[in-house]
Amino acid sequence: MLTSLAIRNVVLIEALDLEFGAGLSVLTGETGAGKSILLDSLGLALGARADSGLVRAGETQASVVAAFEPPAGNTRAAALLADNGIEMEPGEPLLIRRTLKADGGSRAFVNDQPCSAALLRDLGGMLVEIHGQHDDRGLLNPRGHRALLDAYGRCDAAAVASAHAAWRAAAATLADARATVDNAARDRDYLTHAVEELSKFAPEPGEEEILAAERATMQKGARLSDDLAAVSDCLTGSDGGLAQLRQAARRLDRIAGEDAALAAVLEALDRAVVEAGEAEDRLAEAAEALSFDPARLDAIETRLFDLRGLARKHQVAPDDLAALRDEMAAKLAAIEGGEEHLAALEKDVAVKADAYRAAAQTLSAERQLAAGRLDAAVAGELAPLKLDAARFRTVVAALDEGQWSAQGTDRVEFEISTNPGAPFAPLAKIASGGELSRFILALKVALAERGGADTLIFDEIDRGVGGAVADAIGERLSRLAESNQILVVTHSPQVAARGAGHLLIAKSSDGTVTRTGVHALDAAERREEIARMLSGAEITAEARAQAERLLERV
């Protein structure tokens, strides 16, 4: 709901701050007072084309700030803001600001975050519907008629959307499978040779690293083998160092008791024998680890060379050869069993397409029933609005298969015939002026505003009518205002009397500067303004009495 509007330097408006409440608010004033400027200002904030002619003469910039209640209840608006990264704190009002320079440049902001004019238009259309003499959005746009009918008839399109998603997913799977089979079939000979070659070679993940490490160890052993043999000869054998140490220890053991110093020598010699024995064992282990078989080394180098050559050939890492073999084998299997697999997928697509058609037919039948009820409801609103010669119908027609979607197989459009015998045509192409607004009002009342914007603005909906028709318009606006915020620019006292709030738009001049102002009327001022609307320039006692009766009646 629109809560306030701040306008600066727009045409005749120098500075204006307005507040709006729920229900029906009426805006009245003399012709030329500037009512259209208010609507132009709001339109600018809602993404209308930035016309530099709106900037007040002598000023460099105009600005409009529109404040709305938090859009939590308006799920479409909330989703649009979230999709575009516009942050909203819980309970925070939605502020839309638009600035316009005298040279034509403009900028737009939502909650002080810059946004495009396109985003502003989309958001504005979700928040406010302005129905005037030249409006081409809202109910006049056939693209929204299907959703409005579904909301009115409570037609559940969820089953159709689910069936459509399943059908399209199955069709995509079939298309991918066909492409895979077609591509694989073209490469059959290559795949057969490659799979045979890789299967025979049997590469394993991590094999290159293992082979390279084993080869490096063997190559190191080859370099160190002579040195290890020489060291072993020094330690082992009958003439080796260890044998000499043991012989010396035995001899010393026989004479160690002769002197305490010899006992200490024996202890050191025993330790040397133990250490030398451990060295001998470690040397044997090292020799075993570094041992190599020339045939094995040759086999490893051949395997490693072939492994890396295959990797270069197939342009993959050596560790990926096994996965490549499996992938190529799967493609070959797809060729062999491709027709059978495709046949199963084609059957699945057909089954899901039939399920979609069945769900769409059910939805279409619901729409036809809802269209009949809507046509009857609108017909009941036309006569009181002096549109008794007009006819309204909701067209639910089948779309070509290429246009089927998650919303079903139907095209929905509202059409009218304004005169007996005249053909039906789209609403926007036939109705004009006040007639157009009254048609929209009839539709809005019939639809009970399901699926529309929270705020509706009607610009001179009562143009060219009076008396009972104007009273009928006022009654329907009042009824519509029970569930929506309604703002109406009116010249009809019958409509003005229905308002929960009343704003008077007036133009003043000091001889050099002309300004447009807006004043919220109290009860006495409302009676006086409605009396003026009834009698003209000179307000009579009879007009005041009539105004009082209109106000009391509502």
pLDDT tens profile 304-348 = 898 899 999 999 999 999 999 998 888 787 776 776 778 889 999
Report strand pairing: 514-520 vs 501-509: antiparallel
Q: How far is 317 from 470, CA to CA, in rounded Å?
A: 83
Predicted pLDDT at 251:
74
Strand order in the sheet with 61-68: 13-19, 2-10, 61-68, 94-101, 106-110, 113-115
Residue 2, CA distances (Å) to 37, 110, 370, 454, 499 in order: 17, 14, 31, 8, 16
Strand segments, DSSP code E, in 342-389 are none
Predicted pLDDT at 452:
63
DSSP assigned state of 62: E
Predicted pLDDT at 288:
65
DSSP assigned state of 371: H
Which residue's entry shows tokens 């925070």? 92
Question: Ranked by mean pLDDT, which of 130-134, 451-455, 503-507 comes out on top?
Answer: 503-507
**What is the per-residue pLDDT across 469-492, written as a single tens digit (0 to 9) for each?**
888 888 888 888 888 889 988 888
Predicted pLDDT at 187:
76
pLDDT at 137 over 60: no
Q: What is the mean pLDDT of the chain?
A: 83
Calculate the CA dihedral of residues 179, 185, 186, 189 and round it to 10 degrees. Answer: 150
Question: Ranked by mean pLDDT, which of 211-220, 280-289, 443-452 comes out on top?
Answer: 211-220
pLDDT band at 553 (very low <50, low <70, confident <90, very high): confident
Strand order in the sheet with 425-426: 391-398, 410-417, 425-426
Q: Is 254 exposed, middle or buried (0-12, 13-18, 19+ CB in 10 A)?
A: exposed
pLDDT at 291 over 70: no
pLDDT at 508 over 60: yes
**What is the per-residue pLDDT across 250-270, written as a single tens digit (0 to 9) for each?**
777 777 766 677 777 777 777
Structure tokens at 21: 């409440």
Predicted pLDDT at 138:
59
Q: How far is 522 from 425, CA to CA, in rounded Å?
A: 45
Lowest mean pLDDT among 18-27, 182-191, 232-241: 232-241
pLDDT at 134 over 50: no
What number is the average pLDDT over the span 56-71? Answer: 89
Torsions phi, psi for 264 (to 5 deg): -65, -35
Predicted pLDDT at 109:
92
Structure tokens at 351: 């089954």
pLDDT higher at 288 or 84: 84
Q: H-type helices in 290-320, by residue range?
A: 294-314
What number is the average pLDDT over the span 16-35? Answer: 85
- Bridge partners of 434, per DSSP, are none
Q: How far is 195 from 182, CA to CA, in rounded Å?
A: 18
Number of H helices, E strands in the chain: 17, 15
pLDDT at 274 over 90: no
Give Rg (Cα) of the chain: 46
pLDDT at 68 over 60: yes
Structure tokens at 526: 């409302």
What number is the average pLDDT over the span 429-443? Answer: 72
pLDDT band at 454 (very low <50, low <70, confident <90, very high): confident
DSSP assigned state of 399: P
Torsions phi, psi for 95 (to 5 deg): -110, 125
pLDDT band at 49 (very low <50, low <70, confident <90, very high): confident
Torsions phi, psi for 488 (to 5 deg): -135, 130
Maximum C-alpha span of the chain: 154
Asked if residues 162 and 361 have their Cβ atoms less than 8 Å apart, the reply is: no
| Residues whose CB is less than 8 angstroms from the CB of residue 149 and which lie 6 or more positions away in sequence, other chains included | 155, 367, 370, 371, 374, 394, 396, 412
Chain centre to alpha carbon of residue 238: 89
Q: Which amino acid is at 481?
A: A
Q: How far is 521 from 544, CA to CA, in rounded Å?
A: 16
Cα 46–Cα 519–Cα 59 angle in degrees, nearest 5: 55
**What is the per-residue pLDDT across 411-434, written as a single tens digit (0 to 9) for each?**
999 998 888 888 898 877 765 556
What number is the average pLDDT over the span 7-22? Answer: 89
Lowest mean pLDDT among 274-288, 354-368, 473-487, 533-547: 274-288
pLDDT at 227 over 50: yes
Give the predicted TM-score (pTM) of the model. Answer: 0.60
What number is the average pLDDT over the span 207-227? Answer: 74
Strand order in the sheet with 485-489: 128-131, 455-459, 485-489, 24-28, 501-509, 514-520
pLDDT at 136 over 60: no
| Residues whose CB is less than 8 angstroms from the CB of residue 274 and which lie 6 or more positions away in sequence, other chains included | none
What number is the average pLDDT over the span 289-300? Answer: 74
Asked if residues 414 and 392 have their Cβ atoms less than 8 Å apart, the reply is: yes
Q: How far is 82 from 86, CA to CA, in rounded Å?
A: 6
Closest Cα partner for 481 from 441, 541, 521? Answer: 441
Question: Ranked by mean pLDDT, which of 52-66, 264-278, 353-367 comes out on top?
Answer: 353-367
Predicted pLDDT at 152:
86
pLDDT higher at 354 or 214: 354
What DSSP string runs through 165-216? Answer: HHHHHHHHHHHHHHHHHHHHHHTHHHHHHHHHHHHHH---TTHHHHHHHHHH
Asked if residues 385 and 479 have their Cβ atoms less than 8 Å apart, the reply is: no
Residue 211, CA distances (Å) to 43, 74, 280, 302, 304 in order: 76, 66, 30, 10, 7
Torsions phi, psi for 383 (to 5 deg): -60, -45
Q: How far is 166 from 38, CA to CA, in rounded Å?
A: 49
Closest Cα partner for 390 from 379, 400, 404? Answer: 379
Asked if residues 434 and 465 have their Cβ atoms less than 8 Å apart, the reply is: yes
pLDDT above 90: percentage of residues in the chain: 25
What number is the average pLDDT over the span 141-159? Answer: 87
What number is the average pLDDT over the span 161-189? Answer: 87
**What is the per-residue pLDDT across 516-531, written as a single tens digit (0 to 9) for each?**
888 889 989 999 888 9
Residue 105, CA distances (Å) to 51, 55, 112, 119 in order: 9, 11, 18, 17
